[in-house]
A = this chain, B = another copy of it.
Amino acid sequence: MAKSLSKAALATSSKARPQSEAQPPRPVESLSIAQVAEQAGVSVATVSRVLNGHENVRPATRDRVLAAVDASGYRVNELARNLRTAESRLLLTMVPDVGNPFYAEIVRGIDSVARQHGYFMLLCDTGADPGRERSYFDLLRRRRADGAICLDPATIQQALGEASSALPWVACCEFDPEMGVPYVGIDNYRAAGDAVRHLLARGHRRIGLINSDVDYLYARQRQQGYLDALTEAGITPDERWRMNLNSLDYEAGASAAAVLMQQPDAPSAIFAVSDTLAIGVIHGLRNVGKHVPDDVAVVGFDDISLAAQIDPPLTTIAQPMRELGETAARLLLQRLANPLMNVPGVLLPHRLVIRRSA
C-alpha cells in the first residue's frame, strides 16, 4: 500500500503552500424546521414530534417527515432547542493540566457515564490560570453548560471561596466536606500513611516528602498522613526532608530531588505525591549519581500507566481513576436531576502497588 504511494503525493516542502483548488461549495444557509415541515406537507409541530420521538404521530406521517429530513439533510439547531428546553445537555470537566496523564482515565470514566445519560462531556484545561478558571464557571452561570466536574485543586479552592456552591458542580479528588459541594475522592491521609509505612517496613528511617502546595487540602492530608506515620514509628520528622512544589511537572520533581540530595544526611527514601513528580525524582536522582532503589527508594502516587514502564518501575499508590470519574459523573447527574437533594460525598478505596522503585 505504501509502496503504491507516489512520492509526488507526499508533501516535501517546509513552507506554507496553497491547498488544492477543489474547495467544495459551502452548504446552503441551513434549513429550519419550518422548511422541513413544508417539504413534508405537515406543521412544524409534527416535525418536532417526530424528531423527539413522540408516540402520537401516525406512522405514515412519521415516514413522510423522516423522508423530508433525510432528503434535506436537516439538523436540529440545538441553540434553539436548548433555549426552549432551558438545558444544554453539556457537561464540563475542568482539569489543571491535560498533559498530566493522571486525569485521562478519570475523564474517560466521566465521559462514559455522561454519554449513557445523553450528555456530552467537554474538557476544559484551566492551566492554573485564575482567569481561565473563573471563565469556565461562567460558562455554567450563563447556561452554556448544565453542570461541571472540577478536578483542579486550585479551581476548586477558588470556587469554594466564591459561594459557587449553588452552582451545579461536583469536586473530584480535591474537596472540602464542609462546603456543601458534592465530592468524590480517596482517603488521602490514609493513602499517604500507607506509602510511608511501606518505606518504613523496607527499613527506611530518613524519608523525604515531595509535596505540592499545602494550600490544597489533599496536600495537607497527605502531609499529615506522612507525618503521623513517621511519628507512630518513633521517628521525629525532619523539616529538611520536606519540600513543597507548585508544579507537578517532571522537571519540578527532578530539581526537587537534586535539592533534597544536597543536604548532609539526605533521605534514603522519597515519597512524592504524584507519579509525574516521582518520575522526575528518579531522573533527578540519576543526574546526581544516585541509583533507585539501591541508593534511594522512591514511591509515587496515582499509578498512571507510565508508572509501570519506566526504569525502575514505580511503586505507587493507585487511585481508582475510572471509578473516580464515573462516580463524579453520577453525583453530578443526581444533582441535576434533583437540585434540592443533598448529594453525598464519596470516598473510594486506594491501593499500594509495589514495583521495583521501593
Residues on A facing B (Cβ under 8 Å): 1-2, 5, 7, 10-27, 30, 75-80, 82-83, 86, 88, 90, 92, 97-99, 101, 103-105, 107-108, 111, 115, 120, 122-125, 127, 132, 135, 138-139, 141-144, 163, 165-166, 177-183, 185, 187-190, 214, 220-221, 223-225, 227-228, 249-251, 254, 279-280, 282-283, 286, 305-306, 308-311, 339-340, 342-349
Q: Are A16 and B344 in contact (CB under 8 A)?
A: yes
CA distance A171 to B321 in the complex (A): 31
State how many angstroms separate the Cβ of A141 from the closest Cβ of chain B. Answer: 5
- On chain B, the residues within 8 Å of A19 by CB distance are 177, 180-183, 342-345
Chain B residue numbers with a CB within 8 Å of A166 are: 24-27
Residues from chain B with Cβ under 8 Å of A282 in the complex: 311
| Known contacts A19-B342, A98-B103, then 10 further A-B pairs from the complex at CB < 8 Å, ordered by chain A residue | A11-B188, A20-B177, A22-B179, A79-B79, A79-B86, A79-B88, A79-B144, A108-B125, A111-B127, A282-B311
| CB neighbours of A107 from chain B (8 A) | 98, 125
Contact (Cβ within 8 A) B26 A339: yes
Give A344 to B20 CA distance when docked, in angstroms: 9
Contact across chains for A99 and B305 when beta carbons are under 8 A apart: yes
Q: Is the CB of A80 within 8 A of B78?
A: no
Complex contacts, A10 vs chain B, CB 8 Å: 188-189, 221, 224-225
Interface centre among A141, A181, A254 (most CB of B within 10 A): A141
CB <8 Å contact, A180 and B24: yes
A311 to B308, CA, bound (A): 14
Chain A binding site: helix, strand, loop or mixed by DSSP?
Answer: mixed
Q: Is the pair A227, B187 in contact by a Cβ cutoff of 8 Å? A: no
Q: Which of B18, B26, B180, B250 contacts A345 (CB 8 A)?
A: B18
CB distance from A305 to the nearest CB of B (A): 6
Report the Cα distance A94→B128, complex, angstroms: 22
- Give the number of times this chain occurs in the complex, counting copies: 2
Whether B24 lies near A163 (C-beta < 8 A) is yes
Select A223's contact among B2, B125, B165, B224, beta carbons within 8 Å. Answer: B2
Q: Decide if B311 touches A2 in the complex (CB within 8 Å).
A: no
- Closest chain B CB from A288 CB (angstroms): 14
Closest to A73 in B: B141
User: Which of B125, B144, B223 contacts A111 (CB under 8 A)?
Assistant: B125
Complex contacts, A223 vs chain B, CB 8 Å: 2
Interface centre among A78, A103, A108, A132 (most CB of B within 10 A): A78
Contact of A122 among B76, B86, B123, B347 (CB under 8 A): B123
CA distance A21 to B280 in the complex (A): 42
Nearest B residue to A78, CB-CB: B142
- Give A191's nearest chain B residue, CB to CB: B14
Question: B residues within 8 A CB of A92?
Answer: 122
